[in-house]
Amino acid sequence: MGKTMRISIKRKLTIFIILILILNIAIVSFASLRGISAYQKKQYESDLKEDSKIANIYIREQFLKETNSNYKSFYEKNAKYLCKNLRNLINNDVALYDIKGNNLMGRYIAGNEQKKDRVQEKKMDKLMLLALENNIVYRDLDNNKIEYLAPIYDYDGQIGVIRLIYNIKSQKIFYSDIKNMYLEFGLLSIIIVFIIAKVVVINIMKKMKHLTKSLELVEEGKFEDITLIESNDEIGDLSLGIQSMALTIRNDIDGMQNEKKKLQKLIIKLRELEKKQKHFIGNITHEFKTPITVIKAQQDLIALYSDDTTMVKNAKKVIDSELQRLDDMVENILYLSSIEKYDYEFKQERVEINAIIKEIANRMQAKAQKFGITIKLKLEHAEIYFDKDSFTQIIINVIDNAIKYNKADGNIDIRSYKIADNVVIEIEDTGIGIPDEIKDKIFDPFYTVDKNRSKNHSGTGLGLPIVKTMLKKQGGSITVHSNKKGSIFIITIPVFESMQVKI
């Protein structure tokens, strides 16, 4: 078998550049010439339409000067005179026809011009028929002219046809000149681009040969002989990559040692994650057993004391409450898992926090009043780039937490202000406080400071973990400061303007 002809990259690049240029010039030329042609056509259509209007107006003016009261009779009788003046007025060849298509010029057309007109009449029968049916029609002639037919009207309707011969030779010459100009410009551009492309491609090929030599040195293990190409482009990046690859190969043993250490750290981390997972599953099991045990106990009571309607009613109420608690727990677990493990989609947008916080405070005021708790607001105008629904859920969870662990007749103070590029929201309660040793644990799933108080308030221990995860996913954070007088949860979120710079 014969060898396949090998085409060099230099030739391929040169041909590709020239083909792209030719295609570009062809598209631009085609679009421009088509536009010029369309403009010329629109222009002469407009001129001829205007000339036909002028002819109708002129004939009407001349009729009004005469005493003859029959418009059609005046038109046919004075056709020669009208035609002569119209030729001077609109500077075009003019012929007038009656409503039957007969030429009214008679012998006014002299010599060869009359013969040409008669020959032309035979050719234009179809065109004349259309014009006699109240249509404006035209067509190109072979001698760079346009034949244009339009109706002539009296006061009641069409009485004849005017034929105009419009010369478009100058437009065709202009179009031809533009076409030639594009052709000359295209050829000149191709020559110039060919020269430039050849110079550029030769330079690129020199660099490619240098890269090939560098790869050969890598194969031979001569890493010290590799030199870097000083080029601020992809070839320079590739040369730097080859050099870096050589250094990586030379330091392979050290790299393997580092990978081994990383692998060991990863194994330790996986074990820790496995331990946390077991702990999480254990907590879920424990939390699920409690309401299930309560439900079973209430079912036993219903079975034993089915005749006691009060007992049955209270038992069903307890069962409904525990079922609701189970449902909330499952929903929160699924939600927490989705935002932690998957690419949960937050619909971040520009959010003004004051209105949302005020609306939430008003909604939760009724719950707070049951325990004699007063909610106070001190808010500054601030905007964040955040998911509106998750922001609402964050504020609700933290305020609800402040109500659960507050003291009777206590207060909840909600403040917001700006510091540098952050919005800070503080939610302070006058509750039982959080010991220092468990401050970090309150953000763990199922952890509650006071188990009995949490159950009385239908808590699941998942509210704060959800809050922390939602904030972390959207660039925010939450911390807590506490003492015996209560706790302050501090939420920090970047302001809207600072987020715009990052976007």
Residue 430 contacts residue 368 (beta carbons within 8 Å)? no
Is the per-residue pLDDT at 170 higher than 90? Answer: no
Cα distance between residue 347 and residue 476, in whole Å: 15
- Residue-wise pLDDT for 108-123, tens only, equals 333 344 444 544 445 4
**Domains contained in the chain, number:** 4
In a domain, 290, yes or no: yes
Average pLDDT, the chain: 76
Q: How far is CA 171 from CA 42, 48, 166, 168, 174, in A?
A: 12, 15, 11, 5, 5
Together in a domain, 109 and 179: no
In a domain, 96, yes or no: yes
The residue that leads in pLDDT, 169 or 352, is 352
Q: What is the CATH number of the domain that holds 435?
A: 3.30.565.10
Candidate from 28-32, 59-63, 352-356, 360-364 with smallest mean pLDDT: 28-32
Q: Over pLDDT 70: what percentage of the chain?
A: 71
The residue that leads in pLDDT, 489 or 22, is 489
Is the per-residue pLDDT at 92 higher than 50? Answer: yes
Q: Helices marked H in 305-342 — which ranges?
A: 309-341
**Structure tokens belonging to residue 212:** 């090939």
- Residue-wise pLDDT for 218-235, tens only, equals 777 776 777 777 767 666
Banded pLDDT at 166 (limits 50, 70, 90): confident
Together in a domain, 498 and 354: yes
Cα distance between residue 252 and residue 256, in whole Å: 6
The residue that leads in pLDDT, 334 or 481, is 481
Together in a domain, 20 and 133: yes
Residue 422 contacts residue 492 (beta carbons within 8 Å)? yes
In a domain, 119, yes or no: yes
DSSP structural state of residue 124: T
DSSP structural state of residue 310: H
pLDDT, mean of residues 178-202:
78
Give the pLDDT of residue 455: 45
The residue that leads in pLDDT, 322 or 61, is 61
The residue that leads in pLDDT, 347 or 411, is 411
Q: Residue 187: is it exposed, middle or buried by C-beta count within 10 angstroms (0-12/13-18/19+)? A: exposed
Choosing from 250, 285, 312, the residue where a domain stops is 250
Q: What is the CATH number of the domain that holds 320?
A: 1.10.287
- Residue-wise pLDDT for 424-477, tens only, equals 999 999 988 888 777 777 877 666 655 444 444 445 567 788 888 888 888 899
Question: What domain range includes position 284?
Answer: 276-341
Q: Residue 18: is it exposed, middle or buried by C-beta count within 10 angstroms (0-12/13-18/19+)? A: middle
Residue 148 contacts residue 52 (beta carbons within 8 Å)? yes
In a domain, 179, yes or no: yes
Cα distance between residue 91 and residue 411, in whole Å: 96
In a domain, 260, yes or no: no
Nearest one of 61, 55, 49 to 135, comparing CA atoms: 49
Choosing from 250, 266, 301, the residue where a domain stops is 250
Together in a domain, 326 and 438: no
